[in-house]
A and B are shown apart, each in its own frame.
Chain A
Amino acid sequence: MDISPDQWILLEWRDWRLNATIVFTWAIMALLVLGSWSITARLSEGETVSRWQVMLEVIVSGIRDQIADVGAHEPARYLPFIGTLFLFIATANLLTIIPGYQPPTGSLSTTAALAVCVLIAVPVFTIAQRGLGAYLRNYIQPTPLMLPFNLIGEFSRTLALAIRLYGNVMSGTIIVGILIAVAPFFFPVMMQLLGLLTGLIQAYIFAVLAMVYIASATRTRQRNEDGGRATSGEKTETEQER
């Protein structure tokens, strides 16, 4: 049994191998690009709005609200990156209802690539917002002794992101495969439904965790610059509760 779509070679030419992961990733990218392009090509602001535009607006504003909830001040800044992550993973996981399709997120290469995107995005966003010095200073907080641990934390959470998504999707695929061999028809269908739910939740969690990492990195910077005044936000919340 294949534990990842990497081993499913579709096309081979000399040293070049085209595996299922790459093909399905291209298919998803084409689907997303063509879909959003055809919807955004004719947007309307009038009384009649097409159904597709409504769907897109719901998705975009929903993602923006979620980003704002996690604690980012300007959701529009993070919307393209986080939204792309979420839409790609969600589409990749939801398309499992199509027979013969293997989600590319069930391959460690894809999830590692996505996690590396997050690893790069955190410093990029924080440097763009707070500057290089403030970003580097974050590594020696609270004391310079913590520098190696901060570095380890940076990489281990990237690894955790990658392995979490990979393990979840792969476990779903493998369990369905085993169940089809053991008990055909009914249980595989139930597991497939469960897989759709967990696939969507995993996409959501990946996006939220990426946003939390970015938001926490930018927020610590803010706290340093404000000189401890950033806790005033929490204080006002507790005061409101009283």
Chain B
Amino acid sequence: MDAATWIAIVSIVTAGLTIAIGSIGPALAEGRAASNALMAIAQQPDEANTITRTLFVSLAMIESTAIYCFVVAMILIFANPFTAAATQAATGG
């Protein structure tokens, strides 16, 4: 197999691993955040607005970790910088 095929294989496998591993941590963290926020709301229903807003902001913070992994995976699949170089080397050389 030539270099471009290997790069494609490695990119796809790595993209899958990136999404898989990279979503475990944020999923656990979001579950923790949501359950703690629900407990806080149950204890202090009056503060529900503040707690919900803070929850949304912190969920966005946590979620961005997963989003970074997603962006990396998308770059690996759709905009891989090495594929172009490999095809260029293959056709040019």
Q: Chain A residues in contact with chain B, CB under 8 A?
A: 1, 3, 66, 69-70, 160, 163-164, 166-168, 170-171, 174, 201-202, 204-205, 208-209, 212
Contacts and interface: CB of A to CB of B under 8 A. Distances in A.
28 contacts: A1-B78, A3-B78, A3-B79, A66-B53, A69-B49, A69-B53, A70-B53, A163-B64, A164-B60, A164-B64, A164-B67, A166-B71, A167-B64, A167-B67, A167-B68, A168-B67, A170-B74, A171-B67, A171-B70, A171-B74, A201-B56, A202-B60, A205-B56, A205-B57, A208-B57, A209-B57, A209-B60, A212-B57
B50 interface: yes
A73 B72 CA distance: 40
Interface size class of B (residues with CB under 8 A): 10 to 19
Nearest to A66: B53
B76 to A, nearest CB: 11
A179 to B, nearest CB: 16
A201 B60 CA distance: 9
Contacts of B56: 201, 204-205, 208
A1 B78 CA distance: 8
A123 B57 CA distance: 22
B67 A69 contact: no
A163 to B, nearest CB: 6
B92 to A, nearest CB: 24
A69 B57 contact: no
B20 to A, nearest CB: 16
Contacts of B50: 69
Interface in B2-44: none
Contacts of A1: 78
A51 B78 CA distance: 46
B29 to A, nearest CB: 15
Nearest to A65: B49
A205 B53 CA distance: 9
Closest 9 CB pairs of A and B: A167-B67, A205-B60, A164-B64, A167-B71, A3-B78, A171-B70, A167-B70, A164-B67, A208-B57
Contacts of B57: 205, 208-209, 212
